Amino acid sequence: MKIALIGYGKMGKIIEQIALSRGHEIVSRIDIDNQEDFNSQAFKSADIAIEFTAPKVAVQNYKKAFQAGVSVVSGTTGWTEQMPEIKALCEEKGLAFFWASNFSLGVNIFFAVNEYLARIMNQFPTYQVGMEETHHTQKLDAPSGTAITLAEGILNNIERKTEWALGEGKAQDPTLTIKAIREGMVPGIHTIQYESDFDYITITHDAKNRNGFALGAVLAAEFACGKKGCLGMKDMLKF
């Protein structure tokens, strides 16, 4: 498979190593200083592009890739209010767009556990729920896309919670509070805690490094290659 990389920072370089180890070819590497390469024959020859950049440039990256006839796998978060536009453009071009707030297999298992636990806790209103996420200082969006996905899993299953907001503690109202911490080089820690007058129930996912995210992105590219339409981790993992 011929892969183009959009974003060639730490994550892009790890993705490159994993893709090469799996027998794929990197035909184009696009970063801030060579945006003109979206129009190159090398980029257009790609079977698929893997994009990890920043919220303010992600949508334009998708549009440029689609214009070049290249499908996209992306893990950039913080832009999804424009998702309807990107889905429509993807379908119009007859390409694939695979997006996930987190490509880690462990995190996606965590998503499923979170939803299951929330369905149980819907029956026990004496428990208040709160969330905390910690990432490295280069993480630009807060809360993280992973935290938002976890929050949506809770809101969809606990009737007494109807919205999420950044803040502290475990609000006693319809708001699910998400505390976002930015420090050091933390790849990502997400914790959900239910608290009653008598005890705590806590679940946590703690990433050791970025390799799990990168491997998931390459697996997503393998899955999406040759397909059409909007795809996600649930399509690939089937749970």
The string of DSSP codes covering 59-88 is HHHHHHHHHTT-EEEE---S-GGGHHHHHH
Task: Show the tokens assigned to 73.
Answer: 């796998």
Spatial contact of 132 and 204, defined as CB atoms under 8 Å apart: no
Among residues 24, 64, 135, 161, which one is catalytic?
Answer: 135
Closest to 34 measured CA to CA, from 64, 11, 59: 64
Among residues 24, 93, 139, 161, which one is catalytic?
Answer: 139
What number of H helices and E strands is found in the chain? 8, 11
Helix or strand holding residue 239 (H, E): none
Give how far Cα 117 sits from Cα of 7, 45, 201, 215, Å.
36, 45, 10, 27
Neighbouring residues of 99: CB distance < 8 A, sequence distance ≥ 6: 73, 74, 75, 80, 83, 230, 231, 232
Spatial contact of 108 and 95, defined as CB atoms under 8 Å apart: no
Spatial contact of 152 and 105, defined as CB atoms under 8 Å apart: no
Respond yes or no: is residue 135 known to be catalytic. Answer: yes
Respond yes or no: is residue 139 known to be catalytic. Answer: yes
Q: Which residues are designated catalytic? A: 135, 139
